[in-house]
Structure 1
Amino acid sequence: MAWGKKKEEEEDVDLEAGEASNNKKSKKNKKGKGKKGADGDDSDEESKKASKHERHRSATITALMETRQQASDQYAQAQKAERAYLAKKHATEARSNYTETKTHFKEAFSHFAAGFRGLWHVIRTLPHIMAHRRAEGRRKAEQQKRTRVEERMKKLEEQLARDAERAAEEEKAEKEAAAKK
Protein backbone atom coordinates (compact mmCIF):
# COMPACT_ATOMS: atom_id res chain seq x y z
CA MET A 1 0.00 0.00 0.00
CA ALA A 2 2.68 2.49 0.98
CA TRP A 3 4.57 1.76 -2.21
CA GLY A 4 1.41 2.41 -4.25
CA LYS A 5 0.89 5.74 -2.54
CA LYS A 6 4.44 6.86 -3.22
CA LYS A 7 4.12 5.87 -6.85
CA GLU A 8 0.87 7.85 -7.13
CA GLU A 9 2.51 10.88 -5.52
CA GLU A 10 5.45 10.65 -7.94
CA GLU A 11 3.02 10.47 -10.87
CA ASP A 12 1.19 13.52 -9.53
CA VAL A 13 4.46 15.42 -9.25
CA ASP A 14 5.49 14.36 -12.76
CA LEU A 15 2.09 15.34 -14.06
CA GLU A 16 2.28 18.73 -12.39
CA ALA A 17 5.78 19.29 -13.77
CA GLY A 18 4.67 18.15 -17.22
CA GLU A 19 1.61 20.37 -17.16
CA ALA A 20 3.74 23.32 -16.12
CA SER A 21 6.21 22.75 -18.94
CA ASN A 22 3.38 22.19 -21.42
CA ASN A 23 1.62 25.33 -20.21
CA LYS A 24 4.81 27.36 -20.70
CA LYS A 25 5.27 26.05 -24.24
CA SER A 26 1.65 26.63 -25.10
CA LYS A 27 1.97 30.20 -23.84
CA LYS A 28 5.07 30.68 -25.98
CA ASN A 29 3.29 29.21 -28.98
CA LYS A 30 0.38 31.53 -28.42
CA LYS A 31 2.69 34.51 -28.37
CA GLY A 32 4.51 33.29 -31.47
CA LYS A 33 7.95 33.26 -29.86
CA GLY A 34 8.47 29.46 -29.81
CA LYS A 35 10.80 27.61 -32.16
CA LYS A 36 9.17 25.86 -35.05
CA GLY A 37 10.34 22.81 -36.95
CA ALA A 38 11.26 22.59 -40.59
CA ASP A 39 7.68 22.20 -41.75
CA GLY A 40 6.46 25.00 -39.48
CA ASP A 41 4.74 23.26 -36.54
CA ASP A 42 6.04 21.56 -33.45
CA SER A 43 2.99 19.31 -32.75
CA ASP A 44 5.10 16.12 -32.91
CA GLU A 45 7.36 17.32 -30.14
CA GLU A 46 4.41 18.38 -27.97
CA SER A 47 2.55 15.12 -28.50
CA LYS A 48 5.66 13.12 -27.53
CA LYS A 49 6.17 15.18 -24.37
CA ALA A 50 2.44 15.16 -23.53
CA SER A 51 2.24 11.39 -23.96
CA LYS A 52 5.33 11.02 -21.77
CA HIS A 53 3.57 12.83 -18.94
CA GLU A 54 0.07 11.43 -19.38
CA ARG A 55 -1.41 10.20 -16.16
CA HIS A 56 -1.79 6.45 -15.85
CA ARG A 57 -4.08 5.11 -13.16
CA SER A 58 -2.61 2.67 -10.75
CA ALA A 59 -4.18 -0.72 -10.18
CA THR A 60 -5.16 0.31 -6.64
CA ILE A 61 -7.19 3.28 -7.82
CA THR A 62 -8.77 1.23 -10.57
CA ALA A 63 -9.69 -1.51 -8.08
CA LEU A 64 -11.12 1.04 -5.66
CA MET A 65 -13.13 2.68 -8.42
CA GLU A 66 -14.47 -0.71 -9.52
CA THR A 67 -15.33 -1.57 -5.91
CA ARG A 68 -17.14 1.76 -5.50
CA GLN A 69 -19.02 1.21 -8.76
CA GLN A 70 -20.01 -2.31 -7.70
CA ALA A 71 -21.15 -1.03 -4.31
CA SER A 72 -23.17 1.68 -6.02
CA ASP A 73 -24.78 -0.90 -8.31
CA GLN A 74 -25.52 -3.19 -5.36
CA TYR A 75 -27.03 -0.26 -3.45
CA ALA A 76 -29.25 0.60 -6.42
CA GLN A 77 -30.33 -3.05 -6.70
CA ALA A 78 -31.03 -3.16 -2.96
CA GLN A 79 -33.17 -0.03 -3.26
CA LYS A 80 -35.10 -1.58 -6.14
CA ALA A 81 -35.59 -4.78 -4.15
CA GLU A 82 -36.71 -2.80 -1.11
CA ARG A 83 -39.22 -0.81 -3.17
CA ALA A 84 -40.51 -4.03 -4.76
CA TYR A 85 -40.85 -5.71 -1.35
CA LEU A 86 -42.71 -2.73 0.13
CA ALA A 87 -44.96 -2.51 -2.91
CA LYS A 88 -45.77 -6.23 -2.63
CA LYS A 89 -46.38 -5.92 1.12
CA HIS A 90 -48.62 -2.87 0.73
CA ALA A 91 -50.47 -4.50 -2.17
CA THR A 92 -51.15 -7.61 -0.07
CA GLU A 93 -52.45 -5.46 2.78
CA ALA A 94 -54.55 -3.41 0.37
CA ARG A 95 -56.04 -6.56 -1.16
CA SER A 96 -57.01 -7.92 2.25
CA ASN A 97 -58.52 -4.54 3.21
CA TYR A 98 -60.41 -4.47 -0.08
CA THR A 99 -61.92 -7.93 0.40
CA GLU A 100 -62.80 -7.20 4.02
CA THR A 101 -64.43 -3.90 3.07
CA LYS A 102 -66.30 -5.59 0.24
CA THR A 103 -67.77 -8.17 2.64
CA HIS A 104 -68.70 -5.42 5.10
CA PHE A 105 -70.50 -3.51 2.36
CA LYS A 106 -72.29 -6.69 1.24
CA GLU A 107 -73.43 -7.29 4.81
CA ALA A 108 -74.37 -3.63 5.20
CA PHE A 109 -76.49 -3.66 2.05
CA SER A 110 -78.15 -6.94 3.02
CA HIS A 111 -78.86 -5.58 6.51
CA PHE A 112 -80.09 -2.33 5.00
CA ALA A 113 -82.44 -4.26 2.71
CA ALA A 114 -83.62 -6.40 5.64
CA GLY A 115 -84.22 -3.22 7.63
CA PHE A 116 -86.37 -1.77 4.87
CA ARG A 117 -88.31 -5.01 4.52
CA GLY A 118 -88.89 -4.96 8.27
CA LEU A 119 -89.91 -1.32 8.10
CA TRP A 120 -92.42 -2.15 5.37
CA HIS A 121 -93.89 -4.92 7.53
CA VAL A 122 -94.06 -2.55 10.50
CA ILE A 123 -95.82 0.09 8.43
CA ARG A 124 -98.28 -2.49 7.14
CA THR A 125 -99.01 -3.80 10.66
CA LEU A 126 -98.95 -0.39 12.36
CA PRO A 127 -102.76 -0.15 12.67
CA HIS A 128 -102.79 -3.50 14.49
CA ILE A 129 -100.00 -2.36 16.81
CA MET A 130 -101.86 0.87 17.56
CA ALA A 131 -105.13 -1.01 18.18
CA HIS A 132 -103.32 -3.34 20.58
CA ARG A 133 -101.77 -0.37 22.44
CA ARG A 134 -105.18 1.35 22.69
CA ALA A 135 -106.73 -1.85 24.01
CA GLU A 136 -103.96 -2.16 26.61
CA GLY A 137 -104.47 1.47 27.58
CA ARG A 138 -108.25 0.95 27.93
CA ARG A 139 -107.71 -2.16 30.02
CA LYS A 140 -105.29 -0.34 32.33
CA ALA A 141 -107.65 2.66 32.58
CA GLU A 142 -110.60 0.39 33.45
CA GLN A 143 -108.53 -1.40 36.07
CA GLN A 144 -107.46 1.91 37.64
CA LYS A 145 -111.08 3.11 37.54
CA ARG A 146 -112.20 -0.11 39.23
CA THR A 147 -109.58 0.25 41.97
CA ARG A 148 -110.65 3.88 42.57
CA VAL A 149 -114.31 2.84 42.75
CA GLU A 150 -113.44 0.05 45.17
CA GLU A 151 -111.49 2.48 47.38
CA ARG A 152 -114.44 4.89 47.38
CA MET A 153 -116.79 2.06 48.25
CA LYS A 154 -114.57 1.03 51.16
CA LYS A 155 -114.45 4.61 52.40
CA LEU A 156 -118.24 4.93 52.08
CA GLU A 157 -118.80 1.60 53.86
CA GLU A 158 -116.45 2.69 56.65
CA GLN A 159 -118.25 6.00 56.92
CA LEU A 160 -121.66 4.26 56.91
CA ALA A 161 -120.38 1.90 59.58
CA ARG A 162 -119.22 4.86 61.67
CA ASP A 163 -122.53 6.66 61.08
CA ALA A 164 -124.41 3.53 62.05
CA GLU A 165 -122.39 3.26 65.26
CA ARG A 166 -123.04 6.90 66.08
CA ALA A 167 -126.69 6.49 65.37
CA ALA A 168 -126.77 3.39 67.56
CA GLU A 169 -124.94 5.27 70.32
CA GLU A 170 -127.28 8.23 70.02
CA GLU A 171 -130.32 5.94 70.23
CA LYS A 172 -128.85 4.29 73.23
CA ALA A 173 -128.09 7.66 74.77
CA GLU A 174 -131.68 8.84 74.03
CA LYS A 175 -133.16 5.67 75.56
CA GLU A 176 -131.04 6.13 78.61
CA ALA A 177 -131.97 9.76 78.83
CA ALA A 178 -135.65 8.85 78.39
CA ALA A 179 -135.30 6.10 80.96
CA LYS A 180 -133.80 8.59 83.39
CA LYS A 181 -136.63 10.99 82.99
Structure 2
Amino acid sequence: MAWGKKKEDEEDDIDLESGEGAKAKKSKKNKKGKGKDDEADEEGEDSKKSSKHNRHRSATITALMETRQQASDQYAQAQKAERAYLAKKHASEARTNYAETKTHFAEAFSHLAAGFRGLWHVIRTLPHIMAHRRAEGRRKAEQQKRTRAEERMRKLEEQLARDAERAAEEEEAEKEAAAKK
Protein backbone atom coordinates (compact mmCIF):
# COMPACT_ATOMS: atom_id res chain seq x y z
CA MET A 1 0.00 0.00 0.00
CA ALA A 2 1.46 3.37 -0.98
CA TRP A 3 1.66 6.19 1.53
CA GLY A 4 -1.56 8.12 2.07
CA LYS A 5 -3.70 5.91 -0.21
CA LYS A 6 -6.80 4.05 0.86
CA LYS A 7 -7.95 0.65 -0.33
CA GLU A 8 -10.47 2.28 -2.66
CA ASP A 9 -7.66 4.14 -4.42
CA GLU A 10 -5.69 0.92 -4.84
CA GLU A 11 -8.12 -0.28 -7.47
CA ASP A 12 -7.14 2.67 -9.68
CA ASP A 13 -3.38 2.06 -9.22
CA ILE A 14 -1.27 1.27 -12.22
CA ASP A 15 0.34 -2.15 -12.44
CA LEU A 16 3.88 -0.98 -12.98
CA GLU A 17 5.18 -4.26 -14.34
CA SER A 18 2.54 -4.82 -17.00
CA GLY A 19 1.52 -1.18 -17.45
CA GLU A 20 -2.16 -1.97 -16.99
CA GLY A 21 -4.56 -0.55 -14.46
CA ALA A 22 -6.20 -2.62 -11.74
CA LYS A 23 -9.64 -2.17 -13.40
CA ALA A 24 -8.31 -3.62 -16.63
CA LYS A 25 -7.21 -6.73 -14.71
CA LYS A 26 -10.70 -7.18 -13.34
CA SER A 27 -12.24 -6.88 -16.77
CA LYS A 28 -9.90 -9.61 -18.09
CA LYS A 29 -10.93 -11.93 -15.27
CA ASN A 30 -14.60 -11.36 -16.01
CA LYS A 31 -14.19 -12.16 -19.76
CA LYS A 32 -14.34 -15.92 -19.29
CA GLY A 33 -18.11 -16.19 -19.01
CA LYS A 34 -19.01 -13.67 -21.79
CA GLY A 35 -19.76 -14.10 -25.48
CA LYS A 36 -17.74 -12.87 -28.47
CA ASP A 37 -19.70 -9.67 -28.81
CA ASP A 38 -19.08 -8.70 -25.26
CA GLU A 39 -15.36 -9.42 -25.70
CA ALA A 40 -15.08 -7.17 -28.69
CA ASP A 41 -16.75 -4.27 -26.89
CA GLU A 42 -14.52 -4.69 -23.89
CA GLU A 43 -11.35 -4.90 -25.97
CA GLY A 44 -12.11 -1.50 -27.37
CA GLU A 45 -12.58 -0.16 -23.88
CA ASP A 46 -9.43 -1.93 -22.65
CA SER A 47 -7.33 -0.41 -25.40
CA LYS A 48 -8.56 3.03 -24.42
CA LYS A 49 -7.93 2.41 -20.73
CA SER A 50 -4.58 0.78 -21.25
CA SER A 51 -3.40 3.67 -23.35
CA LYS A 52 -4.55 6.03 -20.65
CA HIS A 53 -2.82 4.04 -17.84
CA ASN A 54 0.08 2.67 -19.84
CA ARG A 55 2.65 4.87 -18.19
CA HIS A 56 6.01 3.99 -16.82
CA ARG A 57 7.48 5.37 -13.64
CA SER A 58 8.83 8.85 -13.84
CA ALA A 59 12.49 9.49 -13.17
CA THR A 60 11.60 11.47 -10.03
CA ILE A 61 9.70 8.57 -8.48
CA THR A 62 12.49 6.18 -9.42
CA ALA A 63 15.09 8.51 -7.87
CA LEU A 64 13.03 8.93 -4.71
CA MET A 65 12.55 5.18 -4.40
CA GLU A 66 16.28 4.58 -4.87
CA THR A 67 17.07 7.29 -2.30
CA ARG A 68 14.65 5.73 0.16
CA GLN A 69 16.13 2.29 -0.43
CA GLN A 70 19.68 3.61 0.06
CA ALA A 71 18.62 5.39 3.27
CA SER A 72 16.99 2.20 4.50
CA ASP A 73 20.16 0.23 3.72
CA GLN A 74 22.33 2.83 5.46
CA TYR A 75 20.02 2.79 8.48
CA ALA A 76 20.23 -1.00 8.64
CA GLN A 77 24.03 -0.84 8.38
CA ALA A 78 24.15 1.82 11.12
CA GLN A 79 22.01 -0.35 13.39
CA LYS A 80 24.24 -3.33 12.71
CA ALA A 81 27.36 -1.25 13.46
CA GLU A 82 25.76 0.09 16.63
CA ARG A 83 24.90 -3.42 17.84
CA ALA A 84 28.45 -4.59 17.03
CA TYR A 85 29.96 -1.62 18.90
CA LEU A 86 27.78 -2.20 21.97
CA ALA A 87 28.55 -5.93 21.92
CA LYS A 88 32.28 -5.17 21.74
CA LYS A 89 32.03 -2.59 24.54
CA HIS A 90 30.01 -4.90 26.80
CA ALA A 91 32.36 -7.78 26.04
CA SER A 92 35.40 -5.71 27.08
CA GLU A 93 33.64 -4.70 30.30
CA ALA A 94 32.74 -8.33 30.93
CA ARG A 95 36.34 -9.44 30.36
CA THR A 96 37.59 -6.78 32.79
CA ASN A 97 35.02 -7.77 35.41
CA TYR A 98 35.87 -11.44 34.93
CA ALA A 99 39.59 -10.79 35.41
CA GLU A 100 38.98 -8.69 38.54
CA THR A 101 36.60 -11.26 39.98
CA LYS A 102 39.07 -14.05 39.26
CA THR A 103 41.80 -12.08 41.06
CA HIS A 104 39.53 -11.36 44.03
CA PHE A 105 38.53 -15.00 44.34
CA ALA A 106 42.16 -16.10 44.11
CA GLU A 107 43.08 -13.65 46.88
CA ALA A 108 40.04 -14.69 48.90
CA PHE A 109 40.95 -18.37 48.67
CA SER A 110 44.57 -17.68 49.57
CA HIS A 111 43.43 -15.57 52.56
CA LEU A 112 40.94 -18.26 53.53
CA ALA A 113 43.72 -20.86 53.40
CA ALA A 114 45.98 -18.62 55.48
CA GLY A 115 43.11 -18.11 57.93
CA PHE A 116 42.59 -21.85 58.31
CA ARG A 117 46.33 -22.41 58.78
CA GLY A 118 46.33 -19.72 61.47
CA LEU A 119 43.24 -21.27 63.07
CA TRP A 120 44.97 -24.66 63.11
CA HIS A 121 48.00 -23.12 64.85
CA VAL A 122 45.73 -21.37 67.36
CA ILE A 123 43.88 -24.60 68.10
CA ARG A 124 47.17 -26.45 68.47
CA THR A 125 48.59 -23.82 70.83
CA LEU A 126 45.30 -23.19 72.68
CA PRO A 127 46.42 -25.09 75.82
CA HIS A 128 49.51 -22.87 76.03
CA ILE A 129 47.42 -19.73 75.57
CA MET A 130 45.01 -20.86 78.31
CA ALA A 131 47.90 -21.74 80.63
CA HIS A 132 49.43 -18.30 80.05
CA ARG A 133 46.07 -16.61 80.76
CA ARG A 134 45.65 -18.64 83.96
CA ALA A 135 49.20 -17.75 85.05
CA GLU A 136 48.50 -14.06 84.35
CA GLY A 137 45.26 -14.31 86.33
CA ARG A 138 47.11 -15.95 89.26
CA ARG A 139 49.83 -13.31 89.15
CA LYS A 140 47.25 -10.48 89.17
CA ALA A 141 45.30 -12.18 91.98
CA GLU A 142 48.50 -12.57 94.07
CA GLN A 143 49.40 -8.93 93.43
CA GLN A 144 45.90 -7.83 94.50
CA LYS A 145 46.17 -10.04 97.63
CA ARG A 146 49.55 -8.52 98.43
CA THR A 147 48.19 -5.00 97.85
CA ARG A 148 45.17 -5.71 100.10
CA ALA A 149 47.41 -7.25 102.76
CA GLU A 150 49.75 -4.25 102.66
CA GLU A 151 46.73 -1.92 102.91
CA ARG A 152 45.40 -3.88 105.93
CA MET A 153 48.85 -3.79 107.55
CA ARG A 154 49.10 -0.05 107.00
CA LYS A 155 45.63 0.51 108.45
CA LEU A 156 46.47 -1.74 111.40
CA GLU A 157 49.71 0.12 112.01
CA GLU A 158 47.83 3.43 111.87
CA GLN A 159 45.21 2.05 114.27
CA LEU A 160 47.96 0.83 116.59
CA ALA A 161 49.69 4.19 116.35
CA ARG A 162 46.43 5.97 117.23
CA ASP A 163 45.76 3.54 120.06
CA ALA A 164 49.30 4.06 121.32
CA GLU A 165 48.83 7.83 121.21
CA ARG A 166 45.52 7.58 123.07
CA ALA A 167 47.06 5.29 125.60
CA ALA A 168 49.94 7.75 126.00
CA GLU A 169 47.51 10.65 126.34
CA GLU A 170 45.44 8.73 128.89
CA GLU A 171 48.56 7.90 130.88
CA GLU A 172 49.63 11.49 130.83
CA ALA A 173 46.15 12.57 131.79
CA GLU A 174 46.27 10.06 134.70
CA LYS A 175 49.70 11.32 135.76
CA GLU A 176 48.51 14.87 135.68
CA ALA A 177 45.36 13.93 137.55
CA ALA A 178 47.51 12.04 140.13
CA ALA A 179 49.92 14.97 140.29
CA LYS A 180 47.05 17.31 140.99
CA LYS A 181 45.81 15.28 143.81
Q: Pairwise mapping of residues 18-37 of structure 1 onto structure 2 (< 5 A)?
A: 22=24, 32=34, 35=37
For normalisation by structure 2, the TM-score amounts to 0.76
Query: Structure 2 stretches of 5 or more lacking a match?
Result: 1-11, 15-19
Q: Provide the identity percentage.
A: 79
Measured in 1, the distance between the counterparts of 2:131 and 2:158 equals 40
2:175 matched residue in structure 1: 175
Q: Residues 27 and 111 (structure 1 numbering): CA distance in 2 closer, same or farther, change over 3 Å?
A: closer
Q: Residues 130 and 23 (structure 1 numbering): CA distance in 2 closer, same or farther, change over 3 Å?
A: closer
Per the TM alignment, residue 176 of structure 1 is displaced from its structure 2 partner at its CA by 2.2
- State the AA in 2 paired with 1:68: R
Q: Give the SS at the match of 1:55.
A: coil
Q: Give the SS at the match of 1:35.
A: helix
Q: Give the SS at the match of 1:173.
A: helix
CA contact (8 A) 1:36 1:42 kept: yes
2:162 matched residue in structure 1: 162
Pairwise CA RMSD of aligned residues?
Answer: 3.2
Q: Residues 140 and 24 (structure 1 numbering): CA distance in 2 closer, same or farther, change over 3 Å?
A: closer
CA contact (8 A) 1:28 1:34 kept: no
Farther off after superposition, 46-55 or 167-176: 46-55
Per the TM alignment, residue 32 of structure 1 is displaced from its structure 2 partner at its CA by 4.0
Farther off after superposition, 163-172 or 41-50: 41-50
For normalisation by structure 1, the TM-score amounts to 0.76
Farther off after superposition, 170-179 or 79-88: 170-179
CA contact (8 A) 2:21 2:50 kept: no
Name the count of aligned residue pairs.
163
- State the AA in 2 paired with 1:158: E
Q: Residues 94 and 26 (structure 1 numbering): CA distance in 2 closer, same or farther, change over 3 Å?
A: closer
Q: Residues 19 and 63 (structure 1 numbering): CA distance in 2 closer, same or farther, change over 3 Å?
A: closer
Q: Give the SS at the match of 1:57.
A: coil
Measured in 1, the distance between the counterparts of 2:123 and 2:117 equals 10
Q: Residues 164 and 44 (structure 1 numbering): CA distance in 2 closer, same or farther, change over 3 Å?
A: same
Q: Residues 50 and 156 (structure 1 numbering): CA distance in 2 closer, same or farther, change over 3 Å?
A: same
1:100 matched residue in structure 2: 100
Measured in 1, the distance between the counterparts of 2:70 and 2:134 equals 91
Q: Residues 34 and 26 (structure 1 numbering): CA distance in 2 closer, same or farther, change over 3 Å?
A: farther
